[in-house]
Chain A
Amino acid sequence: VQLVQSGAEVKKPGESLRISCKASGYSSVNYWIGWVRQMPGKGLEWMGRIDRSDSYTTYSPSFQGHVSISLDKSISTAYLQWSSLKASDTAMYYCTRQIDYYYMDIWGKGTAVTVSS
């Protein structure tokens, strides 16, 4: 049972990006995939989640409109996407198995995103 995230990315401001999170070892259980940001030297910030059963999404007000979360059920892969990156998007991004809004019990190793001109 694990979440495998895509590799580190280096991008320029204004570029688009999509990072991925592939779930494996799961049975068909009702859970969500959540995304958490950790900026360099800072704490954890919940960004949003997607329901694996119907792709319904919820976003933190802090991230609503800035990122998009999607899911390809056929390959058990969730995505976090930006249409126009900013330097302030530089961070580590973790995907998680989120059990409703209660807690996040499985974490991917993280994808480091660096945005710099």
Chain B
Amino acid sequence: EIVLTQSPGTLSLSPGQRATLSCRASQTLSSSYLAWYQQKPGQAPRLLIYGASIRATGIPDKFSGSGSGTDFTLTISRLEPEDFAFYYCQQYGYSSITFGQGTRLEIK
């Protein structure tokens, strides 16, 4: 099983700042199989990025994804209050899908 490790566990930033979230895989991934989700308390997750860098429908361009191999990054520029939430990366490998443990993005 491929394990995804997200860092940091919690990221404390202020509105207007830039957030950089990391997702590291235990084995090399195809970029096609790396996605990012946002989840706010009491809500279902929402797809942000797929294929490592492709924004999902309706996702503003302040969200961007990058990376390849084992290291992937989600960047959120110009944080707004509604961006403070949990973020999860997700991959497919060895016939199964796994998620990272999540990063909590909180207001400083």
CA–CA, A44 to B35, complex, Å?
13
A95 to chain B, nearest CB (A): 10
Number of B residues whose C-beta is below 8 Å from A? 25
Do residues A43 and B88 form an inter-chain contact, with CB atoms below 8 A? Answer: yes
Number of interface residues of A (CB under 8 A): 20
Instruction: Give A101 to B57 CA distance when docked, in angstroms.
Output: 18
Residues of A contacting B: mostly: strand
Greatest chain B CB density within 10 A among A58, A99, A104 is at: A104
Is A79 in the interface zone, CB < 8 Å from B?
A: no
Q: Which residues of chain B from 4 to 41 have any CB-CB distance to chain A below 8 Å in the complex?
A: 32-33, 35, 37, 39
Say how far B63's CB is from chain A's closest CB, in angstroms: 14
> Given that A102-B32, A107-B44 are known contacts, is A61 also in contact with B96, CB under 8 Å in the complex?
yes
Q: Does B75 contact A (CB under 8 A)?
A: no
Residue among B1, B33, B44 making CB contact with A102, cutoff 8 Å = B33
Q: How far is the CB of B93 from chain A (nearest CB, A)?
A: 9
| Bound-complex Cα distance A108 to B96 (A) | 21
Q: Which residue of A lies closest to B98 (CB)?
A: A46
